A = this chain, B = another copy of it.
Amino acid sequence: MLPARINPPQRRLMGPGPSDVEPSVLEVMALPTLGHLDPQFLKIMDEIRYMLRALFSTENALTFPMSGTGSAGMETCFANLIEPGDRVLIGINGVFGGRMVDVAQRCGAEVVTVEVPWGETFTPDDFLQKARGQRFDLMALVHAETSTGTLQDLSGMRAVADHLGALLLVDAVTSLGGHTVRVDDWGIDAIYSGTQKCLSCPPGLAPISFSSRASEKLEQRSTPVQSWYLDLSMIGKYWGAERAYHHTAPINMLYGLHEASRLALEEGLEARIARHAQNAARFREGLQALGLNLPVAENIRLNPLTVIEIPSGIDDVSVRKHLLEQAGIEIGGGLGAFKGKVWRVGLMGAASTKSNVDACLSGLKNALNAQQ
């Protein structure tokens, strides 16, 4: 039997992503599809590049969205920058640092890890001590750890990378558009993000940016990039002046990213980041009033994502089910080592609103009461 036309309900998306999408972004995704070499579409591409540079605070020429989700962005950075045998120093303080190690090793890297407990962040010295004077080709860490809710201070990391002789690679999946991200000022060589977090575009694209130093490394490779689909030396020629066909761009997704970027810049990056901070503060106050514990230290808490310890005696899944079914609110469970131990509540992009904060606090209160 043929399934019926879909009819998805309207949720409040307050998990670790995707976040709520503005009606205007959804609307543009339903506009007529253009060809991937149509002059009108090429103009849209140029505007997307312009806006992504503004969002990343960079002048990098190699700045555009990859045709895959945030994890494709991660793989793009490693696959293009690593040649077999390259030495890579990676910080692990949650799931996504661990994923970096897996991806880098599949690219043939010799990986050394720097680890701090989940829920904590790194000092520049953590990296220096682990390196013990050895040289590395690449140093990588996560700006906003979506699995633990921590924000990594990146100041000082460029100096460490310079000391190691390494390129600096940063995961900004959950920070771009929700926290300050200054690619050029911070000396980041390669960065990737996703569209479904603080940019509030549906999942499916991964904005990336490469510094001129990273681009040089790419040009000077002696081996081909192991992924054809993610090979920036070819994709850059489609997004650049040559317009050389590589793969058919995901047209309507790119419409969505154009509008989402436009809305973010229209609001203003500073105002948007301040809104994320205000709503996160209101949410944390409410959580503490409910007697809930926030395991991450105050000075390194993410604003787009709050991690809450599940009180003893409370059933993780029942609470999330209650919220979804009774209040139409999606929150996330824990990942990896935090599975069953924490909830992860997103206040990202269009979902970072006072109304969502209050609805979630009220929903959580009811769900907790239902178990007592």
Contact = CB atoms under 8 A, between A and B. Distances in A.
A368 interface: no
Interface in A33-58: 33-36, 38-41, 44, 47, 50-51
A57 to B, nearest CB: 16
Interface residues of A, number: 81
A227 B75 contact: yes
A284 interface: no
Contacts of A245: 335
Interface in A255-308: 255-256, 258-259, 262, 265-266
Given A13-B33, A18-B33, 6 more contacts: A3-B51, A6-B44, A18-B251, A26-B29, A69-B247, A227-B227
Nearest to A21: B33
B204 A204 contact: yes
A70 B351 CA distance: 32
Contacts of A247: 68-72
A67 interface: yes
A257 B292 CA distance: 41
Given A203-B249, A250-B202, A40 B70 contact: no
A307 to B, nearest CB: 16
Contacts of A69: 67, 247-250
Contact of A228 (B13, B34, B36, B99): B99
A252 B202 contact: yes
B29 A30 contact: yes
Contact of A34 (B11, B34, B70): B11
A31 B6 contact: yes
Give the oligomeric copy count.
2
A106 B266 CA distance: 43
Interface in A128-177: none
A253 interface: yes
Given A31-B26, A227-B106, A252 B70 contact: no
Nearest to A18: B33
Contacts of A202: 33, 250-253
A77 to B, nearest CB: 12
Contacts of A259: 5-6
A249 B246 CA distance: 23
A8 B247 CA distance: 21
A35 B9 contact: no
A20 interface: yes
A229 B330 CA distance: 25
B35 A13 contact: yes
Contacts of A38: 11, 324, 330
Nearest to A44: B6
Contact of A204 (B9, B40, B106, B250): B250
A8 B35 contact: no
Nearest to A79: B227
A10 interface: yes
A229 B50 contact: no
